[in-house]
Amino acid sequence: MTKNILFLSKGDDSASSRYRALQYFPLLQQAGFAAAHTAVSGGVSAYLSALRSAAVADIVVVLRKTFPAPILWLLRRLSDKLVFDFDDAIFCNTDGSPSATRMRRFAATAGACDHILAGNGFLARQAARFNPAVTVIPTCVDARRYSAEAGKPEGMIDLVWIGSRSTRKYLLEALPALRLASASTPRLRLKIIADFDLPDAGLPTLAVPWRSATEANELASAHIGIAPMRDDDWSRGKCALKILQYMASGLPVVSSNVGANAEVVDHGKTGYLVNSDEQWCARLVELAGDADLRHRFGEEGRRRVESDYSVEPVFSRIRSVLDALV
């Protein structure tokens, strides 16, 4: 018998919608679920539409969103089974500082649900304060989508960073270390796949607008993936998506030794975890000068994603939760 599952999020274009819901729709269909997605943004009419859809679903999954108390109460009343899925530290401010308002809405949402799917261990521990029914479901990628073969520039070593203007601050904070590495290895170039450029970065840059259709090729044509992060609660809530994209593309990774990044990167096997500008510089210079090491790390990273962080193995964990609920 087909079971209806409804995902509610802020929109189709949000990363949480793409990576925590939409990419699973074919597998959900194979598993006997009729999956639908509704964007809950735009005011009262959007809320009413979402509530009507929730009333006829077997499972309602709220993606990374909290609601005003009256809407949450109605959603709980109308939903047979209610699941909260989140992959960011939405209970605090984006600078990592506490937010009483965000925490209150997060606590109410977590407490109202039948089950919670958390993107990493840090998020799971926060949710467990308000609801013991928590399962860690890492954000994953479709490894086949990143298996593009692309030529790499021979005259430069491209350090690639993929992101958006909202996470630009992390890249800016890494620039002193990147300049150090560039001074030692002049062939280094910073490739930015995003919606901005850094013409005053202090090393050569190549800005590439992010597009879903081209991101796999743009990543594959780089040499080293970089993932600078801060050490605060907002950063600890991140789910290492950049790392997974780099590794799925066969790239070695250099990352800040923080949060889920530190869980995904196997130091010395798929890349390096670093704690200072000096370590950033040393590891980037080492990888820039050793093509065999880059290849070895890249191949090991791709294997790790395929076995642990690709759609099929992660979906098997999601399905066990869903089957238990219905």
pLDDT of residue 147: 87
The residues pairing with 227 across neighbouring beta strands, listed in sequence order, are: 255
Round to whole Å and give the CA distance between 127 and 88. 12
Sign of CA pseudo-dihedral 305, 306, 307, 310: positive
CA atoms within 13 A on the CB side of 302: 15
Round to whole Å and give the CA distance between 249 and 153. 16
pLDDT of residue 281: 98
How many C-beta atoms lie closer than 10 Å to residue 48's C-beta? 12
Round to whole Å and give the CA distance between 250 and 141. 13
3-state secondary structure 31-60: CCEEEEEEECCCCHHHHHHHHHHHHCCCEE
- Separation in Å, CA 296 to CA 102, 148, 231, 269: 43, 17, 29, 8
CA atoms within 13 A on the CB side of 228: 21
What is residue 231's three-state secondary structure?
coil
Q: Which among 127, 120, 89, 85 is positioned nearest to 264, based on CA atoms?
A: 120
Round to whole Å and give the CA distance between 256 and 32. 41
Residue burial 189-215, b: 16+ Cβ < 10 Å; e: rest: bbbbbbeeebeebebebbebeeeeeeb
- Separation in Å, CA 62 to CA 48, 68, 98, 240: 15, 13, 23, 21
pLDDT block averages, 10 residues each, the chain of length 326: 95 89 97 96 88 97 95 97 97 96 98 98 97 97 90 95 94 97 96 96 96 95 97 95 97 97 97 98 98 98 97 97 96
pLDDT of residue 273: 98
Round to whole Å and give the CA distance between 309 and 319. 15
Q: Which among 122, 206, 213, 211 is positioned nearest to 161, based on CA atoms?
A: 206
pLDDT of residue 241: 96
59, two tokens: 């499972």
pLDDT of residue 141: 96
Taking the CA atoms of residue 63, residue 69, residue 71 and residue 76 in that order, the dihedral angle to the nearest 10 degrees is 70
290, two tokens: 């050793």
pLDDT of residue 170: 96
Q: What domains can you pick out in the chain, each with its CATH number?
A: 3-140+311-325 (3.40.50.2000), 144-308 (3.40.50.2000)
pLDDT of residue 41: 83
Round to whole Å and give the CA distance between 157 and 159. 7
What is residue 206's three-state secondary structure?
strand
Contact 61, 40 (CB under 8 A): no
The residue to which tokens 């070695």 are assigned:
252
